[in-house]
Chains A and B, each alone.
Chain A
Amino acid sequence: MSGVGAVRQVALSAGRDLDVTLAFWQGVLGLNVHARYDPPGMAFIMAGDVRLLFIDGVPPGTVYLDIAGLEAFHAEAKAAGIPFTAPPTIVHRDTEGRFGPAGESEWMAFLKDPAGNTIGLVERLAPEQN
């Protein structure tokens, strides 16, 4: 029987300047550096229980993060000059309740960090909230 379980860690590109990348995650997304090891030049940010590892030598990746209040976050970030590659939009209507309460919709917006990692911000909304 497999003992494989939940996601523990995801590796993302540190980009050319780890400081700049981490500043984006802290300043824009509000996620602080949990640990940093320099040398060799790597850092961890906790996204819930999952470790995001920022390290040189891996290609830019994609990570989807839960957010509460996506529309308000987008409006505020946009007013602050943060560019989004895609504004909030419905990506899936979970009519059968396959990924959560039936009837909810998944809204996503996308932006890129300075390292080129794609960040999908995800919020599930009940029908009356759409």
Chain B
Amino acid sequence: MKPFLEGHEDPLTVLVAREMDAVSDVDVVAWAGCHAAPPSYAEDSDYQELLRSNPRNPLALGKAHGHLTSLVARVFADFDPSSAQAGEMARRLFLRRIRSYLHSDLEPLQICRMIPPIEERYDYPYWLGNLYDVCDWMDARTTRDQALHLRDAIEQILSDNGESQLPDATE
């Protein structure tokens, strides 16, 4: 399975993905490692910190989100993570993430844990569909076999949003 972040994404996209829990700190560090940064932030201290982070070092991982946030705040000072622009980025990321559930070994909680941050930041958007109910009582022990209804809900959300259920080129 290819990683969700491939390296070509800009820091704004990565921050939106991280803040909605679509990706983890490990993913953020991995993104930095394969991202070709433009001159505008290639030498930025926080970007450099991300580049130097060891993904197997929990201490370094614990700081990754902070480095990414600082990078965006400094280099993209006009970006509002709660704006309509960010909301549309979140919607695209969300749909891509749930589609990847159909074609990967993602655990149910990796989908369900996106709901609280999305609800909070984007004011209960319609594109979450009925995941609010579907994810009831899904925790870290819930297996894919126990969550067949999650698969059904994802297929419905993709259909409602006019999205294909087929894997895209990154999956």
Residues of chain A at the chain B interface (Cβ within 8 Å)? 62, 78-83, 85-87, 89-93, 108, 110, 118, 120, 130
Contacts and interface: CB of A to CB of B under 8 A. Distances in A.
Interface stretch (B35-43, B97-105, B135-143, B148-156): B135-143
Given A78-B62, A81-B57, A82-B58, A89 B136 contact: no
A83 B58 contact: yes
A117 to B, nearest CB: 12
Interface size class, chain B = 20 to 34
Interface string B29-56: 0000000000000000000000000000
A86 B113 contact: yes
26 contacts: A78-B58, A78-B61, A78-B62, A79-B63, A81-B57, A81-B59, A81-B62, A82-B58, A83-B58, A83-B61, A86-B139, A87-B113, A89-B109, A89-B112, A90-B115, A90-B116, A91-B135, A91-B136, A91-B137, A92-B137, A93-B136, A108-B140, A110-B139, A118-B141, A120-B139, A130-B116
Contacts of B57: 81
